[in-house]
Structure 1
Amino acid sequence: MKKAQKQHFLGIIGLLLVTIIWGSGFTAVDIALRHFSPLPILSARFFIGMVVMGIFAFPERKNISKDSIRSGAVMGVFLFLAFWLQTVAQLHTTPSKNAFLTATNVVIVPFIAYVIYKVKVTRYHLIGAILTIIGVGVLSIRIGESFNIGDLYSFLCAIGFAFHIFFTGHFVKKGSALVLNFIQMTVAFVLSLVMVMVSGEIPAGLPVEGILAVVYLGLFSTSLSFFLQTLSQKYTTETEAGIILSMESVFGTLFSVLILQETITWKMLAGCAIILTAIFISEHGGRKDNDVQSESRLTK
C-alpha cells in the first residue's frame, strides 16, 4: 500500500472513530443535563479540551502564526455556537432526534461552498436538500402538537456544524492540526465562560454522575474527537468526511436506545431513513459532478 493510500485509509478510520465518539456524546450530554445547565457543561468540556490540546500542541508552538490564530478563531466561534445550540436543543428533544437533525449538516455544506467559493450545487444536492426538509418534518412534527423548539435548535446546530466542517477542511490543509485545535478550543472556552458569567448559570452542586459525564465529553467527545477529525480531514475529501460524519446520527440513536432505553417509534424511523437517504444522495450522488471543482477551490 502506497503512503498516500495508507494515509487515506487511516483518515477514513479516524473519521469513523469520530462518529462513534460523537454518537456516544449525545447520551453523555443527556446525563450531564440532569445535573447542570448547558453553559457550564460547555465551559467545562472546552476547558478540558483547551488544556489537553495545549499540552500536545506545546511542542509546535513555533507554528502559531496570525493565520493559524485567525483560522482557529473562526473554527472556535462556529464550534461554540454549534455545541451551544445542540446542548440547549437536548433540553427540549430526545438524544436520537437531536442526533439525526444534527446530521443534516452534510446536506448544507455544498450550499456554503457555493456561497463562499461559487462551487456548483448539483441536482443531487438539491434533491438531498428537499428530502432533508421532508425527513425533518416527518421526524419533528407531531399531529396535534406545536412545533418543538428543540427541533429548531437542533437544525440551527446543524448549520453551525456545517460551517465548522467546511472551514476545518479548508484551514487544516494549510496549518497544524494540533495548533488549530488548541486555538479553537481556547476560543470556544472563552466564549462559553463569558456566557456563563453573563447568565449567572453557576452549578449549585457537583454530583459525581454529572462530573463523570462532563469529563467524558471533555476528554473524548471534544479533545480526542476533534483532533481526529481535524487530522483525518487532511487525508480525505470534504465529500468523504461528510458521508462518514453523518453516521454520527446512527450511533447517537444506538447509544440512546442501549443506555437510556429510549423508545424508537416507526414515525421516528421513517424520518431518520429519509434523512439518511438525503445525506447519501447529496454526498455520494454528487461526488462525480462536484469533487474535482470543490477540491480545487478549497485549496486556493
Structure 2
Amino acid sequence: MGKSLFADLILLLVTLVWGATFVMVKNAVSLLPPFTFNAVRFLLASVVLGLIVWIMNRSVWRSFNRDLMKAGIQIGIWLFAGYAFQTFGLMYTTSSKAGFITGLSVVLVPLFSFWLFRQKIRKQTIAGVCIATVGLSLISFNKAESVNCGDLLVLLCAFSFAMHIITVSRYASKFSAFLLGFVQITTVGIFNALAALIFEKWRIVFQMDILMSPHVLYALMVTSVFATAFAFVAQSQFQKFTTATRTALIFSMEPVFAAVTAYLWANEILSPQAIIGSLCILTGMILAELGGDDSGGSTHATEHV
C-alpha cells in the first residue's frame, strides 16, 4: 500500500470519527453552550496530547520554536474561525443549509490552492469535486430556501475550513505533527474560552450536575481524545502525503458518516435523497482517487507550497 493511499485511509478514519460524534456533540451542547463546550474540549485535548508527548518522547519538545508556534497558531485561528462562524450562522439558518454550505470547502480548497500556490487541478479531480458537491446538496437540502445572514456567516465558515486544510498542507511536512497539533489545539481552546467569556454564560461549566451529565461527560471524553487530540495530529501527520484537494474530498464524507451514525444510534431515517447524495460523495472521492495526484507528481505537500 502506497503512502498516499494509506494517508487517505487515515484521513477517512478521522472523518469517520468526526461524523460519528455529531449526535454526541449535538446532545452535549443542548446542556453546555457551544463555545464553552469547545473550550473545555480543546483545552482538555491539549493537556492529553501534551502528556502523551511528554511520556512517549519528551525529547521532541526540543524542536519547539517560534516558527512552529507561528504555524500552529495560524492553523488554529483558521480552525477556530470555522467553528465560530458556523456556530453563529446556525443561529440564523437551518442545520441542513449549514451542512451544505460548510461542505463547499470541497470546492474552495482547489480554487484557493490554485490561486495561492498555483497548484494544478486535474480533470478527474474537478469532476470528483462537482459530483461530491451535488451529493452534499442532496443530503442537505430538502426544499428551496432563501438566503439569509446565517448563510453568509456559514459561507465564511467554509472559507475558514478550506484555509485550515490548505495551511495544514503548507506546514505539515516542516514540523512535528504532535507539536503542530498541540499548538493548533491549544490555540482553538484559548480562543473558544475567550469567546465563551464574551458571549456565553460560561460559569455553567462549574455546575457539576451539568458537567457530570452523561451527555456532556461522554461527549467531552470522546471528542477530546479521539475527535481532537488524535484527529488533528493524524491530519498534521498524514496530510503531508496527499493533497489539500483530496483531503477536502475525504472530509466531505463527514455528513455521510453523521447520517449513518444518526440512523444507527438515534433512529434518524435516511431518505432516498440522502442515500443518493451519499453515493454521489463516495463516487466523487473514488473518481478523484483514480485521477491520482492533483499536481501530476509527488503527493507531498511541500511541492505545493
Give yes or no for TM over 0.5: yes
Q: Separation in 1 of the partners of 2:4 and 2:281?
A: 27
* Contiguous gaps of at least 5 residues in structure 1: none
Q: Separation in 1 of the partners of 2:61 and 2:222?
A: 27
Task: Tell me which amino acid in the other structure corresponds to 1:29.
Answer: V
SS in 1 for 2:295: helix
| Partner residue in 2 for 1:266 | 272
Contact 1:172 1:234 in 2 (8 A): yes
Alignment of 1:1-300 (within 5 A): 5=2, 11-58=7-54, 59=58, 60-87=60-87, 93=94, 102-128=102-128, 130-131=130-131, 134-143=134-143, 145-147=145-147, 156-202=156-202, 204=204, 205=207, 206-207=210-211, 208=213, 209-238=215-244, 240-281=246-287, 283-284=288-289, 286-287=291-292, 290-292=295-297, 295=300, 298=303, 300=305
Q: Separation in 1 of the partners of 2:227 and 2:149?
A: 25
Q: Give the 3 Å change call, closer, same or farther, for CA 291–74 of structure 1 in structure 2.
A: farther
Contact 1:49 1:222 in 2 (8 A): yes
Q: Name the Cα RMSD after superposition.
A: 3.3
Task: Tell me which amino acid in the other structure corresponds to 2:167.
Answer: F
Q: Provide, for residues 261-292 of structure 1, a one-character-per-residue CA deviation record: whole Å limited to 9, x for no partner.
A: 222222333444444444544x3365356342
How far does residue 73 in structure 1 lie from its aligned partner after superposition? Answer: 0.9
Q: Give the 3 Å change call, closer, same or farther, for CA 88–264 of structure 1 in structure 2.
A: farther
How far does residue 217 in structure 1 lie from its aligned partner after superposition? Answer: 1.4
Q: Separation in 2 of the partners of 1:125 and 1:14?
A: 20
Q: Separation in 2 of the partners of 1:85 and 1:273?
A: 28
Q: Give the 3 Å change call, closer, same or farther, for CA 289–191 of structure 1 in structure 2.
A: closer
* TM-score, scaled relative to structure 1: 0.81
* Contiguous gaps of at least 5 residues in structure 2: none
Contact 1:122 1:290 in 2 (8 A): yes
Q: Give the 3 Å change call, closer, same or farther, for CA 128–15 of structure 1 in structure 2.
A: closer
Task: Tell me which amino acid in the other structure corresponds to 1:79.
Answer: L
Contact 2:103 2:133 in 1 (8 A): no
**Structure 1 stretch 192-201 or stretch 157-166: which is displaced more?**
157-166
How far does residue 201 in structure 1 lie from its aligned partner after superposition? Answer: 3.1
How far does residue 97 in structure 1 lie from its aligned partner after superposition? Answer: 7.5
SS in 2 for 1:287: coil
How far does residue 98 in structure 1 lie from its aligned partner after superposition? Answer: 6.1
Contact 1:139 1:268 in 2 (8 A): yes
Q: Give the 3 Å change call, closer, same or farther, for CA 225–15 of structure 1 in structure 2.
A: same
Q: Provide, for residues 36-85 of structure 1, a one-character-per-residue CA deviation record: whole Å limited to 9, x for no partner.
A: 22111111111112112222344222111121111101110111122334
The count of aligned residue pairs is 294
How far does residue 230 in structure 1 lie from its aligned partner after superposition? Answer: 1.5
**Structure 1 stretch 45-54 or stretch 144-153: which is displaced more?**
144-153
Q: Separation in 2 of the partners of 1:73 and 1:278?
A: 32
Contact 1:103 1:248 in 2 (8 A): no
How far does residue 183 in structure 1 lie from its aligned partner after superposition? Answer: 0.8
Q: Separation in 1 of the partners of 2:10 and 2:143?
A: 41
**Structure 1 stretch 124-133 or stretch 76-85: which is displaced more?**
124-133
Identical columns (%) = 28
Q: Separation in 1 of the partners of 2:298 and 2:4?
A: 20
Contact 2:249 2:284 in 1 (8 A): no
